[in-house]
Structure 1
Amino acid sequence: MSGAFTDQGVAGEDTVGKSIGMRTVIKIENNDRHVFELYFTRPGQQETLATRGLYTRLKE
């Protein structure tokens, strides 16, 4: 999924009030492991990984 948001300081102090491109990638590796990645594209810069979340199912 991709889009943009007006930064309120999430991407850094130097981008407050500017439009920031963002892209979310959801990888379903198997039934027990999903990876969520959020990428930002700041004005004049290349896309960078902002955060990654790893979700694993607990086996009882």
Structure 2
Amino acid sequence: MKKMIALIVLLLTVASCSELAELEAGHQQRMRERGMRCRYNYKGELQHCGYIN
């Protein structure tokens, strides 16, 4: 019984990771299509990024 529960938990983890990877890929695709503009402070540190309209 414990092995079965461990297998189910493992399968759910793998499924959720693959869904997150697909969501991230879609987000990256939208960013490439629209473009992004980032602002930096005087030290060169990233302050804010936003989509270009």
TM-score normalized with structure 1 length: 0.27
TM-score normalized with structure 2 length: 0.29
Q: Which has the higher strand share?
A: 1
